[in-house]
Amino acid sequence: MQAEKLGIELPRREQTPAEIAHEQERADLRKVNEMARDFFYNCLTMTQLGTPGMAYFKARGISDKTIEEFHLGFAPASWDKLSMAFQKRGVKKELLLASGLSAERKMEGSLYDRFRGRVMIPIADERDRIVGFGGRVIDDATPKYLNSPETILFNKRKLLFGLNRSHRAIQQAGYAIVVEGYMDAISVFGAGIENVVATLGTAFTVEHCKKLLRYASEICFCYDSDEAGQSATIRALSIVCVTGARVRVIVVPDGKDPDEYIRKHGAGAFRALVSKALPLVEYRLRYVLAHTDYDTLDGKVQALHQMLPVLTGIRETAMRNEYEKKIARSLMLDEGIVHDELRRYTHGNLNKTVSLPKVPRAQDNAVQQAGRTILQMAVRDPSILDHVQAVVPLSAITDTTQQEIFHFLQNHKGKELFLDNMDDTLSEAATSELSRAMVEEFDEQNHESAYTDALQVLCKSYLQMLYIEHSRKAEEYLRVGNPAYREELSEVKRIKHEIDTLQL
């Protein structure tokens, strides 16, 4: 900070006893994790117990240099070797349980090791502090991979394996390579490509994206090339494309993962794959064409709609126009159809079915923007939807994609939002819109006035919808001689008065 540079000592707020205790717990957990890292490493490199682990690493082509650099280790196939050793060294039982290194036998109350008979990979945060571990079996036992449980230090949805080592290489290269597992990352790193990170048994998240974009503006995904890997890639792309980041996809042939490919073909061949990485739109189009029957009219429409979220992320007009032409050629559609559908999607009108007459376009845009403002607030505080509905029903939000998201948020109150588990619930358009709301900058200082303005826009839109509805009823009742038309006319006048007096 500027004050520190000038040598000015700023007053510091005194920590509460609870805050001091919390910081001490974090420090104690980091210390015991460092002890465990050394325990596993020494077991692998200095004892007979580590022989199976060393044989596994050598079979995978992992060098001694890589083992040392990553502090790879081995958890012996003993039930309590680590737990007993650490307790003898004065580590408290509660700390071993809190770290996730040990678990407790319910009947006896004694501890046993969580990791047994596995090669061990220490997982560090960006400041190179050990926060947890990943363990992989060396035989056919299950589960194949086992991570530390969630702790106050370890949250796999926010961590990226290897970022502590690769962030400088990412800055220098201008892009990050994201792989699915730590063994893939270790293999790629060992091949001399150091700008690589891995997710930890979870899908790519908004938090992951934000971390990487602090170091580079481009992200390259290199997931397994089997069907599951392709699906994971598509989910990740839906998150990144709304951030404005440049995205490419490294396609590994023959259904292999990066680790397998490097072991079979070598580092040079993998570098060649990196140099041929596909732009986001190219990869998405290939995927859509391979998974859609676009010989039929319905198939063409379905394929086109899957491409629209990607096209909206292209900011350069000339490039977007070229891809519109390419998509039209691939789907054997007229270019004008592709352009019109993209325009409709951009304005939130795709597949919209509204029984009432549409209000003027300027009002449509205002309502859509108001809905987006409410959405930005709701993803940060879902309870705001209760207040919104106390003033105006969500049906006032005429954008069907936004309505879908609001209903989703209502059904997930009290739950933390992660995009990787939304794909079975939300449409692709809703996932894309929600991703955008979660990553966009939000003006915290002016949020109250923005909320009030948005709510007033929604109120006016809703009142206009009611005005049209009751006007229709009054006309119909009057036409058939139903005396109920008087009540409807009275309601029309009341609504008109509300619209006229609404402050906007």
Q: Are 307 and 324 in contact (CB under 8 A)?
A: no
Q: Are 170 and 130 in contact (CB under 8 A)?
A: no
- pLDDT at residue 7, as a whole number: 47
Structural domains in the chain (count): 4
For residue 259, tell me if it sits in a domain.
yes
Q: Are 156 and 202 in contact (CB under 8 A)?
A: yes
Q: Are 215 and 269 in contact (CB under 8 A)?
A: no
Whether residue 304 sits in one domain with residue 254: no
Spans in the chain with pLDDT lower than 70: 1-13, 242, 244, 297, 348-364, 413-424, 441-445, 478-481, 503-504
- pLDDT at residue 361, as a whole number: 38
- pLDDT at residue 422, as a whole number: 59
Residue 25 sits in a domain whose CATH number is: 3.90.980.10
Contacts of 131 (CB under 8 A, 6+ apart): 30, 33, 123, 124, 125, 148, 151, 153, 154, 159
Residue 405 sits in a domain whose CATH number is: 1.10.860
Whether residue 264 sits in one domain with residue 392: no
For residue 10, tell me if it sits in a domain.
no
How far is the C-alpha of 122 from the C-alpha of 130, rounded, in Å? 7
Burial class (CB in 10 A: 0-12, 13-18, 19+), 219: buried
Whether residue 125 sits in one domain with residue 175: no
How far is the C-alpha of 361 from the C-alpha of 307, rounded, in Å? 25
For residue 129, tell me if it sits in a domain.
yes
Whether residue 176 sits in one domain with residue 136: no
Whether residue 142 sits in one domain with residue 122: yes
Q: Which two tokens stand for residue 372?
A: 């987006």
Whether residue 114 sits in one domain with residue 63: yes
Contacts of 311 (CB under 8 A, 6+ apart): 281, 320, 323, 324, 327, 342
The secondary element (H helix, E strand) that includes residue 454 is: helix 447-480
For residue 468, tell me if it sits in a domain.
yes
Whether residue 297 sits in one domain with residue 267: no
pLDDT tens, residue by residue, 233-243: 888 887 787 67
Domain boundary among 106, 121, 147: 147
Whether residue 314 sits in one domain with residue 277: no
For residue 153, tell me if it sits in a domain.
no
Whether residue 183 sits in one domain with residue 59: no
Whether residue 497 sits in one domain with residue 367: yes
Whether residue 270 sits in one domain with residue 334: no
- pLDDT at residue 481, as a whole number: 67
pLDDT tens, residue by residue, 59-96: 989 999 999 999 999 999 999 999 999 999 999 999 99
Domain boundary among 147, 177, 206: 147
Model pTM score: 0.68
- pLDDT at residue 443, as a whole number: 67
Contacts of 329 (CB under 8 A, 6+ apart): none
How many Cα atoms are found within 13 Å in the side-chain-facing hemisphere of 188?
33
Give the 3-state secondary structure of residue 143.
coil
Give the 3-state secondary structure of residue 225.
coil
Contacts of 77 (CB under 8 A, 6+ apart): 116, 117
For residue 316, tell me if it sits in a domain.
yes
Residue 278 sits in a domain whose CATH number is: 3.40.1360.10
- pLDDT at residue 8, as a whole number: 44
Q: Give the structural domain span for 168.
A: 163-283
For residue 152, tell me if it sits in a domain.
no
Whether residue 251 sits in one domain with residue 197: yes
For residue 207, tell me if it sits in a domain.
yes
Transcribe 325-372 into DSSP letters: HHHHHHHT--HHHHHHHHHHHHTT-TT---SSPPPPHHHHHHHHHHHH
